[in-house]
């Protein structure tokens, strides 16, 4: 069982990324040429604005397979397909870490959580930074219209929920960026119902994004009523724990394959 902790997300505390600057177009084209000569269909993706942007070399076929955004951006005849470059200037440079998650997901089918940094496990601040990254990654998945990446991020969140502390306010950004029916909302509501203590709910600030808090607390109240109708034995079950390895919080539904079947 994880402990809920009372930390506020503080975007200013997030690590900043090195200013990589813009290499010359010729150098960039040369790199792409070398990679393509090895049979790889590589594009350059810039995350962030101008000189603060971070550059990624991305396998275009995988990006198209997993993201409707890349699929549309790289359609035949587009400027992006022609230049083999996609720019994402509207993502702030802090989203580079989230894009790194997407980048490694494309080749591995995995998004890491708690496992890689043992010291983050019971360190509220470090653990909270990793939660920030996972929340950013989920939001990036929304921007890139990548259901498979979002589902992998959700699996990392489930794993982290079961092994690490959970910041008390992760629902804020996730509610802000999701629709009423998004399964991610089910996860954060289950965290509130099954992992939080009653004093955690009592400390929520109703003046902090009141409309969002109201929606969240409405969903939490409904979920508590549903739990109340269960037998004592069923009430004791933690749906987050029993979801591990399954598709309970995934977006793909019955008609689309799970991302886990897409990686060999
Ligand atoms: Zn699934």
Q: How far is the CA of 154 from the centre of ligand 1 (A)?
A: 10
Largest CA-CA distance found in the chain, in angstroms, rounded: 67
pLDDT of 60 strictly over 50 = yes
Q: How far is the CA of 218 from the centre of ligand 1 (A)?
A: 27
pLDDT of residue 31: 62
What's the 3-state SS for 121-172? CCCHHHHHHHHHHHHHHHHHHHHCCCHHHHHHHHHHHHHHHHHCCEECCHHH
pLDDT tens-digit series, residues 183-234: 999 999 999 999 998 888 899 998 999 999 999 999 999 999 999 999 999 9
169 CB burial (10 A radius; 0-12, 13-18, 19+): buried
Q: How far is the CA of 125 from the centre of ligand 1 (A)?
A: 30
CATH class of domain segment(s) 4-252? alpha beta
pLDDT tens-digit series, residues 15-59: 333 333 445 566 666 665 665 655 568 999 999 988 889 999 999
Domains of the chain, by residue range, sit at: 4-252
Question: Can you say how many angstroms the Cα of residue 147 is from the centroid of all Cα atoms in its chain?
Answer: 10
Q: Output the pTM of the full model.
A: 0.83
pLDDT of residue 96: 93
For 45, phi and psi rounded to 5 degrees?
Answer: -120, 125
Measured CA to CA, the distance from residue 141 to residue 150 in angstroms comes to 5
Q: How far is the CA of 252 from the centre of ligand 1 (A)?
A: 6
pLDDT tens-digit series, residues 95-128: 999 999 999 999 999 998 755 455 555 555 566 7
Please measure the distance between the N-terminal and C-terminal CA atoms of the chain and give it in whole angstroms. Answer: 32
pLDDT of 72 strictly over 50 = yes
130: pLDDT confidence band, cut at 50, 70 and 90?
confident
pLDDT of 10 strictly over 60 = no
Q: How far is the CA of 184 from the centre of ligand 1 (A)?
A: 13
Q: How far is the CA of 70 from the centre of ligand 1 (A)?
A: 22
pLDDT of residue 36: 61
Q: How far is the CA of 51 from the centre of ligand 1 (A)?
A: 38
Measured CA to CA, the distance from residue 121 to residue 164 in angstroms comes to 5
pLDDT of residue 2: 32
264: pLDDT confidence band, cut at 50, 70 and 90?
confident
4: pLDDT confidence band, cut at 50, 70 and 90?
very low
Q: What average pLDDT does the chain have? A: 84
pLDDT tens-digit series, residues 208-222: 999 999 999 999 999
pLDDT of residue 58: 97
Which residues are near ligand 1, the ion (C-beta closer than 5 Å)? Answer: 247, 250, 258
Q: How far is the CA of 246 from the centre of ligand 1 (A)?
A: 6
pLDDT tens-digit series, residues 133-187: 999 999 999 999 999 999 999 999 999 888 888 888 889 999 999 999 999 999 9
Q: How far is the CA of 146 from the centre of ligand 1 (A)?
A: 13
Token pair, residue 180, equals 């009423």
Average pLDDT over residues 82-89: 94
Q: How far is the CA of 182 from the centre of ligand 1 (A)?
A: 14
Q: Which residues pair with 86 in a beta bridge?
A: 45
């Amino acid at each position: 069982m994880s402990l809920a902790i009372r930390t506020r997300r503080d975007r200013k505390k997030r690590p900043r990324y090195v200013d990589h600057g813009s290499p010359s177009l010729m150098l960039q084209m040369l790199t792409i040429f070398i990679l393509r000569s090895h049979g790889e269909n590589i594009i350059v993706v810039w995350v962030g604005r101008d000189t603060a942007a971070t550059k990624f070399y991305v396998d275009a076929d995988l990006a198209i397979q997993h993201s409707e955004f890349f699929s549309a951006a790289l359609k035949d005849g587009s400027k992006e397909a022609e230049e083999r470059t996609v720019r994402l200037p509207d993502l702030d440079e802090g989203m580079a870490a989230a894009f790194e998650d997407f980048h490694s997901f494309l080749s591995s089918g995995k998004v890491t959580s708690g496992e890689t940094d043992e010291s983050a496990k019971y360190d509220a601040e470090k653990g909270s930074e990793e939660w920030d990254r996972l929340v950013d990654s989920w939001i990036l998945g929304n921007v890139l219209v990548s259901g498979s990446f979002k589902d992998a991020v959700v699996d990392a969140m489930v794993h982290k929920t079961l092994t690490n502390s959970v910041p008390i306010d992760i629902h804020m950004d996730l509610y802000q960026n999701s629709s009423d029916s998004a399964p991610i909302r089910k996860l954060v509501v289950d965290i509130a119902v099954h992992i939080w203590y009653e004093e955690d709910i009592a400390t929520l600030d109703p003046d902090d994004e009141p409309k969002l808090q109201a929606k969240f607390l409405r969903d939490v109240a409904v979920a508590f009523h549903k739990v109340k109708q269960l037998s004592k034995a069923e009430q004791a079950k933690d749906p987050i724990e029993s979801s591990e390895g399954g598709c309970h919080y995934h977006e793909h539904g019955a008609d689309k394959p799970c991302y886990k079947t897409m990686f060999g």
